[in-house]
Amino acid sequence: MRLRLANPIATAVWSTTTRRAYATSSSRVSLAYDLHEPAKPSSDAPAAIVFMHGLFGSKKNNRSISKALARDLGRPVYAVDLRNHGDSPHHHRHDYTAMADDVAGFIDEHKLHNTTLIGHSMGAKTAMTLALQSPDLIDNIVSVDNAPIDAALLSSFGKYVQGMKRIEEAGVTKQAEADAILKDYEESLPVRQFLLGNLHRPAGEKTQKFKVPLRILGAALDNLGDFPFKDPGEVRFAKPTLFVRGTQSKYIPDEALPIIGQFFPRFELADIDAGHWVTSEKPEEFRQAVVEFLKPKL
């Protein structure tokens, strides 16, 4: 892992609180979250971190790293479920502008200040979108393996939706049955386990269902590779930004660095020898990069 300024001009105990969410009357939804509080806060009112997962993920995917960051930085970490994921409400609209507005509402609802946004993949583009449209809400962001460009999603995401729909149609009662079906769509056991983490058994039912709304997310796939801002001459985020890149991933190609520098002129780049799932593949290297970026500069 190496951390560099890419554009020079430009064992403690913590507590965790879980909150479910409710739908609001507007298109904004209230987000479910886990709050990881530090045992030794960095100040009387430490600045908050909001951590956002990727597509088909949830707040529980970021539990370990959120606890570690709360411990190391002395800051509360809110790991949220983005709309249509985890325990957050479902909504027919699923795009980055809407997800960013949800997070803006979360910051306002919880009266957070000097906020850091950390987002992986879909969560990264949500963080970038909110930073560009409401820079006064945000102190800095960490974008994990995604860039502010239009880029097609991996074709595997469409296959995942097909496999998950087939699981629901089969009326499975055990995760092993679901895994046997999903093998036709994904060879990797860790990826299958990640996707099957969305399975649950609704109250009063015998079969398992997915928490995520497969129809809504399936319809959104074509647009989730896009980025809502096209012209860095019109909008930019002039505060510190860290881009964490998995060097075995395709989501932040070298060709994207100039446009990153135009949208985020104070960005730094941390390269980690990993694929797209940086936080789970190399959690220690990721923790080190984020702590180095966020720790107070002398």
Q: Which residues have a catalytic role annotated?
A: 121, 276
CA distance 226 to 127: 14
CA distance 7 to 257: 9
Grouping H, G, I as helix, E, B as strand and the rest as coil, residue 12 is coil
Going by DSSP bridges, is the β-strand pair 2-5/267-272 parallel, antiparallel, or unpaired? Answer: antiparallel
β-pair partners for 52: 80, 119
Q: Which amino acid is it at 187? A: E
Containing 226, the helix (H) or strand (E) segment is none
β-pair partners for 200: 209
DSSP secondary structure, 69-95, as one string: HHHHH---EEEEPPTTSTTSPP-S--S
